[in-house]
Chains A and B, each alone.
Chain A
Amino acid sequence: MNTTALAALSGVTALAVALALGYLARIRMPRPPVGVHTAGDVAVVCVGVVLAPLLDLALPTPVVVTVFGVVLGTAVQFTLAPLLGGRWAWPAAAAGIGATLALHASPTGVLAATDVLLLIAVTGVTNLWVQSGMRAAHVAALAGALAVYDLVATTLTSVTLRFAAEVRGQPFAPQLALTRGALPVSLGLGDLLLLVLFPLAAAKAYGRRAALLAAAVGLAVVSSVSALFAAHVLTAGFPLLTALGPLIVAQQLYWRQRRGRERTWAEWRSGAREAAPPPVNPAERALRATAAPGLPEDCWLAVRDDRVVGVGATPGLARRDARRLGRTPTAVRQR
């Protein structure tokens, strides 16, 4: 295998992650009035990933190219829409698709154009998911499921290899390929999605350090596998997600253990460094407050922290007494 291309694969992966993270930081994608990513949506994605190669193998090539072209064009359109405006995003996406088709006489041109479209589409799709509320836990679940699937599809059966052979050289092929030939230097679309998706989800859920770690782990996996290919230890297709999936799950478990819970989108946007801690119960300190001697047994005490700041015959009057003294109580209790 071409060792330069193998090294470049890590660079392209890093570029994809950087593009997506930059997009996440700057661009807000439109959201429907209601709807958040749920575990059910992860299941739908899993089913799609499993069915896509099987359908592709069963369908005629022109149909497959058309389907991939439409899907890729749509993804490019919604990725570019917030940048160019809806009016220009469709022509831009159509131009990208048209240019790829126009290059059909040049296999290298088709490959390069498809790669560019894929990078744009992956940036948009991963952002769409994360900006729709997909959580790091969802990505970890997806990664766990796809780790098993990739082992089955790539190693235990020949589904992935047959699928890769089928789409090789086609416009809009769902693989980021840097070389051509029988054994190209390439990443499957599923691999690339997971490599980009988890750093994004980690950035939202746990912050910059988690995102950098996620990106570094992904790049390390790609680089390690590339190195094994360069050293001829690996010679055929390798189930990248089988290696990456458990590492994503492990990171999710680590951060979850460390941070307690993920930040919501609103918390992330507000700049909160961590998810909001559980609220403090004012009653705990109110119970420790002691009343001055001489007060009636059944009077009510307005309490701030563990200090009495007002007294009254009823809870409301105790609160009003505190207000008159310029204090704001957090609880009232009977003496």
Chain B
Amino acid sequence: MFASALSQLRYATAVLRNGPIRPRDLDRIARELLATLAEFGEPGDDTALLPGRRAAVDPAVRRTVTARSLRATARAAVRHTAYYRQVFDQLGLNPATLDLSGWSQVPVTPKRALRSLPAAFVSTAARPALLALTTGTTGAPTGVWFSREELELLTALSTISAAISLGLRPEHTVAYAGCSRATLALLNAEESVTRIGAGFVQLGTIEPESALDRLAAPLGLPGKAAQITHLTTSASYLAALVAQAERGGWRSEDFGLRQISVGGEVLSGPLRERAAAVLGGQVANSYLMTELVPAGAAPCPQGHLHHGTEFGHLEVLDPQSWEPTLPGGTGMVVHTPFVPYRECTLLLRYATGDLVRLPAVPPDCEMAELPATSDIVGRWTGPLSAALPTRDLLDLLEAEPDVPLPTRYALTDEPDGAVLHVLVRRLPSTTLLGRLEDRATAAGLPLAAIRPYDDRDAMPPTVPLRADLREHGFADLGPSHSTRLAGRP
């Protein structure tokens, strides 16, 4: 306990001074938490005080700490990265004098700037160790370099989060059904889950039929629940699993799932309900992004997404004017991850491309002290994407069993207005179309028309989905390939 208290004291001192965090301190706190859970079955009082637990902070104190963290992050970015040195020089900005009211003088960093030259954002004071590539659903993958120390911090924070938020315990087994190239998420999940003593299975994005089979199969392991208990995946791959499960006659009793964690893509309400019905367990989504980690957001029971203030600064801005979005409006998440949690790739006012709505009235939920937005409602590709965000369209389409999952759709701007192109099971689909039109009108979606297709090739380009990043097994490659392999010496 004395050593743990010392680590907590050193960690708190580093945070208050915006100084470097010793990974060993956070690692010790995470390990002590696991030891506490092993002995007592639950953490002690005041878990909100643990790193990353989104403790309520007095607003005035939060403003002071945020201003100081922003200054420290800007100072480090200007001193150590090529991109921000140039930007601040050109604008004549002094990072040491920035405060919250003047923060808007710092120009928003577009995603393409990071994508085009990740090295321009890497601090000369850090030792880059891992290049985490995004899956590139919006085009070419974005690369973010992390140092070894950052990876250790992230693992410790993930361990704390998994043990407390997810309630993960040694008897559980987590299946990770995400793209294997999502390096950071995969490394973090594997390391934190196994540190807790829980089991970890990397399923990958294999054929949904095989994935369902593996989720259903009894593990037969001593000390573990009979089946896989937790599933981490993207919304579109979850949709593929739901489609296969509904088609294949699977029922929730066939699985032992307690929780399905969804991230990386927009999760619709109907998909959440269908997944819970056919796969079992609670379906929860959170917000984490490779570029922003460890900063992220978690949902509250009232459906808000609450953004922690410990690891970064959230702004919700109009994607065209970069002015703050008004309450009730739709804007883009612009985020500044703080030093000392980040030391390698430094980003100031990073435009994530993710769209959210701001609550029209201040929330009164249990996490009301933290900045709140809606769930991620879509990705900014132009004004149409804000007027008709992905979430609204998926809520419309994924409630219809006759629209195959994962939903294939495209939105085009035509002279008469926005047209929604959607892949359906079969044509003609007059009844389905009527239902969709009625529900779109009732939901107030500004659509000029809905056009159904039964051939995906005939559609305009559809939204890229992570579920399409399928990993093949030898059986998927066909008999000739298998034969060649079998004949290999």
Contact = CB atoms under 8 A, between A and B. Distances in A.
> Which residue, of A32, A265, A266, has the highest number of chain B Cβ atoms within 10 A?
A32
Given A265-B40, A320-B254, A35 B32 contact: yes
Nearest to B46: A33
Contact of B43 (A33, A38, A280, A316): A33
B213 interface: yes
Given A35-B36, A320-B254, A332 B1 contact: no
B222 A31 contact: no
The bracket for how many chain B residues form the interface is 35 or more
Given A35-B36, A37-B1, A316 B47 contact: no
Contact of A33 (B45, B250, B251): B45
B44 A31 contact: yes
B161 to A, nearest CB: 14
A85 interface: no
B218 interface: yes
Contact of A133 (B39, B216, B219): B39
A36 B2 contact: no
A330 B226 CA distance: 6
A243 interface: no
Contact of B222 (A37, A38, A280, A317): A280
Given A34-B4, A34-B29, A38-B1, A286 B49 contact: no
> Which residue, of B1, B4, B29, B214, has the highest number of chain A Cβ atoms within 10 A?
B1
Contacts of B253: 323
B4 A35 contact: yes
B39 A329 contact: no
B223 A279 contact: yes
B45 A264 contact: no
B131 interface: no
A331 B46 contact: no
A260 to B, nearest CB: 15
Contacts of A331: 218-220
Contacts, number: 125
Interface string A36-61: 11101100100000000000000000
A74 interface: no
A286 B39 contact: no
Nearest to A43: B2
Given A319-B217, A320-B254, A36 B226 contact: no
Contacts of A266: 39-42
Interface string B240-279: 0000000000110110000000000000000000000000
Given A30-B45, A279-B223, A36 B216 contact: no
B218 A332 contact: yes
A315 interface: yes
Given A266-B40, A302-B218, A331-B220, A33 B47 contact: yes
Interface string A264-296: 111001100000001111110010000000000
> Which residue, of A33, A270, A318, A328, has the highest number of chain B Cβ atoms within 10 A?
A33
A132 interface: yes
B217 A36 contact: no
Nearest to A302: B218
A61 to B, nearest CB: 29
A179 interface: no
Contacts of A333: 220
Interface in A239-281: 264-266, 269-270, 278-281
B386 interface: no
Given A34-B32, A35-B32, A266-B40, A319 B45 contact: no
Interface of B: 1-5, 8, 29, 32-33, 35-36, 38-47, 49-50, 212-223, 226-227, 250-251, 253-254
19 contacts: A31-B44, A32-B44, A33-B49, A36-B1, A36-B32, A36-B40, A132-B1, A133-B35, A264-B41, A265-B40, A266-B41, A281-B222, A302-B218, A314-B213, A314-B217, A315-B213, A316-B215, A319-B227, A320-B254
Given A280-B222, A315-B218, A316-B215, 11 more contacts: A35-B36, A35-B44, A36-B32, A281-B220, A286-B220, A302-B218, A315-B217, A316-B213, A319-B217, A323-B253, A330-B218
In the A-B complex, the 6 residue pairs with the closest CB atoms: A331-B220, A316-B213, A31-B44, A266-B41, A315-B217, A316-B216
